[in-house]
Amino acid sequence: MTLILAISVFAIVLGGILPLRWGVIGFLAAVLTLFLCQFGWNTASGFEGSSWDESLLLFNGSVVSFLGFNLQITARGFVLPLLLISTLTVLRFSRKGK
């Protein structure tokens, strides 16, 4: 929960400072940055906070399975940050158009 809140705050900051002239490419870069930060944190913290070796034991030593599991967890937990950054970006684009 703390990670989701931290990434959400980071999404608000990025949504506020993202130059609008970058358009869709800048938005996608910001979203990719947020996703990779959250994925990296999930992977580095191990399965339920256990060490890397213990986490790999649970996945029969398969790094690919462990990374796939973390991608799945990250995708599920990424809804709130994505909603926040997209809302801020759309609001800023609508204000610019007026």
Q: What is the pLDDT of residues 10-45, one digit of tens each?
A: 888 888 888 878 888 888 888 898 899 989 998 998
Averaged pLDDT, 38-57: 88
Is the CB of residue 65 less than 8 Å from the CB of residue 72? Answer: no
Which pLDDT score, from 0 to 100, does residue 67 have?
94
Residue 74 identity: T
**pLDDT attached to residue 39:** 93
| pLDDT-based confidence at residue 93 (cuts at 50, 70, 90) | confident
pLDDT of res. 1: 66
- The confidence score (pLDDT) of residue 92 equals 85
- Exposure of 89 by Cβ count < 10 A (0-12 exposed, 13-18 middle, 19+ buried)? buried
- Check residue 79 and give its pLDDT: 87
Q: How many domains does the chain have?
A: 1
Q: Both tokens of residue 51?
A: 């060490």
Place 48 in a pLDDT band, splitting at 50, 70 and 90. confident
Q: Could you tell me if 22 and 93 are in contact, meaning their C-beta atoms sit under 8 angstroms apart?
A: no
Q: Which domain holds residue 55?
A: 2-97
Residue 2 clears pLDDT 80, i.e. is over it: no
Q: How many CB atoms lie within 10 A of CB 88?
A: 18
Q: In the structure encoding, which two tokens stand for residue 72, read together?
A: 């799945």
How remote is the C-alpha of 74 from its chain's centroid? 7
Q: Angle of helix 23-44 relative to helix 2-17, nearest 10 degrees? A: 160
Give the whole-angstrom CA distance, residue 18 versus residue 25. Answer: 11
